[in-house]
Amino acid sequence: MKSIFITATLFASTTIFSQNLKPVSYQDGSQKLNGLVTSNAGKKLPGVLILPAWKGIDDEAKTAASDLEKQGYIAFVADIYGEGNIPTDNASAAKTAGFYKKDYAAYQKRISLALEQLKKNGAIPEKIAVIGYCFGGTGALESARGKLPVVGVVSIHGSIGKDQSRPNEEITTKILVENPAEDKSVTPEDYNNLVKEMNDGKADWQIITYANSKHTFTDPKSPDYNPVMAKRAWNHTLLFLKEILK
């Protein structure tokens, strides 16, 4: 009975969140993209771009957008893959996300297009940040690497590895990495290389590691979900955003 109640509550919450988000269609050439913006669009407020996990726009991204609206931000959930290209299973998600991880310039372009939509919907250009989950966490770091016009980025259980043939360059964007301690997709080498990259780039950076947490520890629908650490991570995100945007 308790599990049924929790499921019903999550469903009702998701429905409410979805109703508070407005669809926004935009283009990358001939490719149609379908993002979501919070209902406070049009006001002049700080903005947060949300980059979803590897299956595209999901409930975690929508919930984050609605929560950020309550904090006084305009939030825009980006569509990286485009209409007709949304993965339906883990295998297709891995393939599609892998394409953008390899072709990081294409990933940065899709992020840039979403940032333009966020600004068109009222976000103050000088007060914009990016947060991303999983594959989106990789995108958050790519926003910093690509010198996109954002004040800070938050990578939440993102894939933090980078092709080591790419040079480490100056990073002017503030960086927060929220790293689960038991994330098997992050190797010690990846971790050390990221620290070196941020130090080489003279970045303002911070890594917070969450104990007893596996890869998707912030997602209530995941078997990895750790509610205590997920709440701490979200509070750390809000603290970071408040510092850099308000």
What pTM value is reported for the model?
0.93
Q: Which domain holds residue 64?
A: 23-245
Number of structural domains the chain divides into: 1
SS3 61: helix
- The pLDDT of residue 168: 97
- The pLDDT of residue 47: 98
CATH number for the domain spanning 240: value is 3.40.50.1820
Written as one letter, the residue type at 74 is I
Q: How far is residue 62's CA from residue 77's CA, in Å, rounded to a whole number?
A: 7
- The pLDDT of residue 141: 98
- The pLDDT of residue 212: 97
**Residue 38, domain member (yes or no):** yes
The angle formed by the CA atoms of residues 83, 84 and 90, to the nearest 5 degrees, is 110
* Neighbouring C-beta atoms of residue 182, cutoff 10 Å: 15
**Residue 3, domain member (yes or no):** no
**Residue 155, domain member (yes or no):** yes
Task: Report CA 3 to chain centroid distance, whole Å.
Answer: 29
In tens digits, what is the pLDDT along the chain, a chain of 246 residues?
434 444 444 444 444 455 589 999 999 999 999 999 999 999 999 999 999 999 999 999 999 999 999 999 999 999 999 999 999 999 999 999 999 999 999 999 999 999 999 999 999 999 999 999 999 999 999 999 999 999 999 999 999 999 999 999 999 999 999 999 999 999 999 999 999 999 999 999 999 999 999 999 999 999 999 999 999 999 999 999 999 999
**Residue 13, domain member (yes or no):** no
**Residue 185, domain member (yes or no):** yes
- The pLDDT of residue 172: 97
**Residue 12, domain member (yes or no):** no
**Residue 108, domain member (yes or no):** yes
Cα distances (Å, whole numbers) of residue 168 to 57, 155, 164, 209: 30, 18, 9, 23
Which helix (DSSP H) or strand (DSSP E) does residue 145 occupy? helix 135-145
Q: How far is residue 70's CA from residue 86's CA, in Å, rounded to a whole number?
A: 29
**Residue 11, domain member (yes or no):** no
- The pLDDT of residue 114: 98
